[in-house]
Homo-oligomer: A and B are copies of this chain.
Amino acid sequence: MMLAMAPKPSASKPNIVLFFIDDLGYGDLSVTGALGYKTPNLDKLAAEGTRFTNFMAAQAVCSASRAALLTGCYPNRVGVSGAFGPQAAQGLHPQEETIAELVKEQGYTTGIFGKWHLGSDQEFLPLQQGFDEYYGVPYSHDMWPLHPWQERAKYPPLHWIDGNKAGKEIKNLEDVSELTPNITEKAVGFIKRNKNKPFFLYVPHPLPHVPLAASSKFKGKSERGIFGDVLMELDWSVGEILKELKAQGLDKNTLVIFTSDNGPWLNYGDHAGSSGGFREGKGTSFEGGQREPTIMRWTGVIPAGRVSNKLLSTIDILPTIAKLTGAKLPKQKIDGIEFVDLLKGDDSKTPREEFLYYYRKNSLEAVRKHDWKLIFAHPGRTYEGQAPGKDGQPGPTSEDFQHPRALYNLARDPGERYNVLEQNPEIVAELEKIAEAAREDLGDDLQKKEGKNRRPVGVTSSK
């Protein structure tokens, strides 16, 4: 009844709900092998839509990954690297066009409920980047006075942000346990208020990034400790938001996208997720850092119960949304490739042939073509051989381990365990060409190359 009664946006202007989960590993959903707890709402979403098994975050760290998602660019193209600190005098450059800005021009109402982390000075906040509403946290919620390395980091108090204004302080784990329910409530309210016009709802949940806390409804409910409890609550949150779409008769005309910013922060041990067998995790260009559990649903448009194993990345979401909504692409160059046909079930297309694994400021650590991945010798993080942390305390991480040059075939060897560099000189030569073109375009700190087409990060005008 509801379905027939509610006025709906036209099919050419689907609503968009984009979940972007923090530090969620590839193996953290039941459908991707999680043990010790279940994610029934996400499993159902996968059954009703398409699950992507070869979907890459653009970089394995928070701000960079978010900049890429919202601009459709490799993060180094838009000058963003790593994770902005609370007092950073930087943010995503205001001239960069975000998904929110593009769809706003198409008449969409836009809201973000969750973590921003693209600059915490007012000029960089979401309301200045195309969002009509913002409620959430400005950066990672471990950037607070209780950080385990506070003596080193000296983080200021962390506050909820409502629009452009700081709200209640998040002072302890009790307050952290309110993140998921509060964000859920705001997202549900946004749907209720905007049911009669097309909307873009961005839900970048701050959890399961550490520090972890679950509300009383979920605490102690999993067989995987607090991490499992938090995942159960996030799954509940997705379920609540999908339920509201249904209640408003909008579930059929809404494109739902679910993915993660980067892999698990493994040195947090029992407080970290799982990369599902992929190598390494957050902060590395191995698959464990960037392969993300990804689901998209748009009933009647995206085939149900399908799995797609084509190479794609978060940077491809912007041009795909643009094509689906009729929005114009940004004026400046982007790196994303639209995959609308693939999304609709056409497997004959391979929109993305190549992918660049940049990390640190501007280091080209690896390149990929189809299933082949060439890793360049680089210093980087490793979790292997390190004792993981426990009970919310991090273990040590080797940040400058020397990773050797290596070639992996990800079809046969998704775990990047078997280096086949010597056996495949022609493949290496082909991948080297891709790398050379990338270095010309975007530069490479490993080779001290600048790159022609990088744009500057935003710098605070007030400082």
State which of A136-144, A166-174, A213-221, A409-417 sits at the interface with chain B: A409-417
Given A31-B307, A279-B415, A414-B276, also A423-B390 (CB < 8 A)? yes
- Residues in B neighbouring A417, C-beta threshold 8 A: 279, 383-384
- How distant is the Cα of A196 from the Cα of B270 in the complex, in angstroms? 54
Q: Is A333 an interface residue (CB 8 A)?
A: no
Please, what's the 1-or-0 string for A396-428, where 1 marks a CB less than 8 Å from any CB in chain B? 000000000000011111110110101100000
Q: Which residues of B contact A54 (CB under 8 A)?
A: 33, 35
Q: Is the Cβ of A277 less than 8 Å from the Cβ of B274?
A: no
Give the A interface residue count (CB, 8 A). Answer: 54
- B residues near A47, Cβ cutoff 8 Å: 47, 304-305
Cβ contact of A274, chosen from B36, B383, B387, B411, cutoff 8 A: B411
- In the complex formed, the residue of B with least CB distance to A33 is B53
Known: A384-B417, A415-B279. A43 touches B371 (CB 8 A): no
B387 in contact with A422 (CB, 8 Å): yes
Chain A at the B interface: SS class: loop
Measured CA separation A38–B420 after assembly (Å): 24
Residue ID in chain B nearest A420 by CB atoms? B388
Cβ-defined contact, B223 with A277, below 8 A: no
* Residue A306 CB within 8 A of the other chain: yes
Counting chain B CB atoms within 10 Å of each CB, which of A31, A277, A423 scores highest?
A277
Complex Cα distance, B30 from A31, in Å, reads 12
Name the contact of A275 in the complex, choosing from B44, B224, B275, B415 (C-beta under 8 A). B415
User: Is A440 interfacial (CB-CB < 8 Å)?
Assistant: no
Contact flags A19-58 to B (C-beta < 8 A → 1, else 0): 0000000010011011110100001100100010110000
* 19 A-B contacts (beta carbon < 8 Å): A30-B53, A34-B411, A35-B53, A35-B309, A35-B410, A36-B309, A36-B371, A38-B309, A43-B306, A275-B277, A276-B414, A277-B277, A277-B279, A277-B414, A279-B417, A384-B418, A386-B418, A387-B422, A388-B423
Chain A residues within CB distance 8 Å of chain B: 27, 30-31, 33-36, 38, 43-44, 47, 51, 53-54, 223-224, 266, 269-270, 272-279, 287, 304-307, 309, 347, 370-371, 383-384, 386-388, 390, 409-415, 417-418, 420, 422-423
